């Protein structure tokens, strides 16, 4: 695996990040540790989790694995925001919750520092200055090395960057958004903000909950039994009826065709497409088994040619809404 800088920071991570939402649920501890071992063996060094993944079990499993490996060889990212208890301050990005959350994550991870600490969602109820000053303090204390966000709107990210710059506080260097061949809304504003401000993009759901693995084919009227889309098991991605339309099948058909032509699996092609998109640092790959992980790891070590990139991108392109379509005709656009 190659290594890439996270945004404008000096932190270098492997081009694929191992997501651990399955740890403690779909993958037991033995399987989870096998996944971590295989990922590191393949050259990976970037692990992403969150305090709410399976009520903290994901962090605990990672912590027990970290205890038997070289901590400084691994980049550990975790997130906070969602409720971790029933109290009024057991969620959000206020100072009280942040300080409690980082303490608990450090304990579960069995480490004395977090490489990348991320806000899981924007907190509309807390003054931005309170959140940013508290996070800056964590970096200054050495408990946290770098800061990032997830599921932010472009204005929320830009305002956070501007306030931190004005105050001289630690900036956000990473954005963790939903991004894949089908979910491309971040290209309107979040990608430009990230490119302009030196924020590395770490996409979640690069396979759209398994949709881009080749299991779903044109003509299907429902999800196959045992898949994640059966009975709407992907609430954060939408249900079957709202997700299936001609564009969905156009992208799926094109993905399957490109994969067949290249002798690659659809999952490998889908992740490879992301790796070659502007601003992307490392897609987050998740797995329930070593076999699934090995398939995803096959996305590195090769490149899609321009023709394949154009076919895949074009299949999911949509008419640009105002004002993006209007601005696309500007004679003063700068090619990146």
Catalytic residue (one of 5, 39, 53, 216): 53
Q: Is 115 exposed, middle or buried (0-12, 13-18, 19+ CB in 10 A)?
A: buried
Residue-by-residue DSSP string for 135-174: HHHHHHHTSEEEEEEES--HHHHHHHHHHHHHHTPPPEEE
Pairwise CA distance, residues 280 & 174, whole Å: 10
What does the CA dihedral 106, 127, 199, 11 come to, rounded to 10 degrees?
-30
Say whether 75 sits in a helix, a strand or coil.
Answer: strand
Q: How many helices (H) and strands (E) does the chain have?
A: 12, 10
Closest CA to 286 of 27, 55, 68: 27
Closest CA to 38 of 325, 225, 314, 292: 292
User: In residues, how long is the chain?
Assistant: 336
Q: Is 53 a catalytic residue?
A: yes
Catalytic residues: 53
């Amino acid at each position: 695996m190659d290594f890439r800088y996270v945004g404008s920071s000096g932190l270098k991570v492997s081009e694929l990040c191992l997501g651990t939402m399955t740890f403690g649920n779909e993958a037991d501890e033995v399987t989870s540790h096998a996944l971590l071992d295989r990922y590191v063996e393949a050259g990976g060094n970037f692990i992403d989790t969150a305090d709410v993944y399976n009520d903290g079990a994901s962090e605990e499993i990672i912590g027990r694995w970290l205890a038997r490996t070289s901590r400084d060889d691994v980049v550990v990212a975790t997130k906070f925001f969602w409720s971790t208890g029933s109290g009024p301050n057991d969620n959000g990005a206020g100072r009280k919750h942040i300080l409690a959350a980082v303490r608990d994550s450090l304990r579960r991870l069995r480490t004395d520092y977090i490489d990348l600490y991320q806000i899981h969602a924007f907190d509309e109820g807390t003054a931005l200055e309170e959140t940013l000053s508290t996070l800056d303090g964590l970096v200054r204390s050495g408990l946290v090395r770098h800061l990032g966000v997830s599921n932010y709107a472009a204005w929320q990210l830009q305002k956070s960057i501007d306030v931190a710059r004005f105050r001289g506080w630690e900036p956000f260097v990473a954005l963790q958004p939903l991004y894949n061949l089908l979910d491309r809304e971040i290209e309107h504003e979040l990608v430009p903000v990230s490119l302009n401000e030196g924020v590395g993009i770490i996409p979640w759901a690069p396979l759209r909950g398994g949709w881009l693995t080749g299991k779903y084919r044109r003509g299907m009227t429902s999800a196959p039994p045992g898949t994640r889309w059966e009975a709407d098991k992907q609430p954060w991605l939408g249900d079957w009826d709202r997700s299936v339309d001609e564009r969905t099948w156009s992208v799926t058909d094109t993905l399957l065709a490109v994969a067949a032509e290249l002798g690659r699996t659809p999952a490998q092609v889908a992740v490879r497409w992301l790796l070659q998109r502007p601003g992307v640092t490392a897609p987050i790959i998740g797995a329930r088994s070593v076999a699934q992980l090995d398939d995803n790891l096959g996305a590195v070590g090769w490149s899609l040619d321009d023709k394949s990139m154009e076919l895949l991108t074009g299949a999911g392109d949509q008419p640009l809404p105002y004002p993006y379509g209007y601005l696309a005709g500007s004679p003063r656009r700068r090619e990146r």
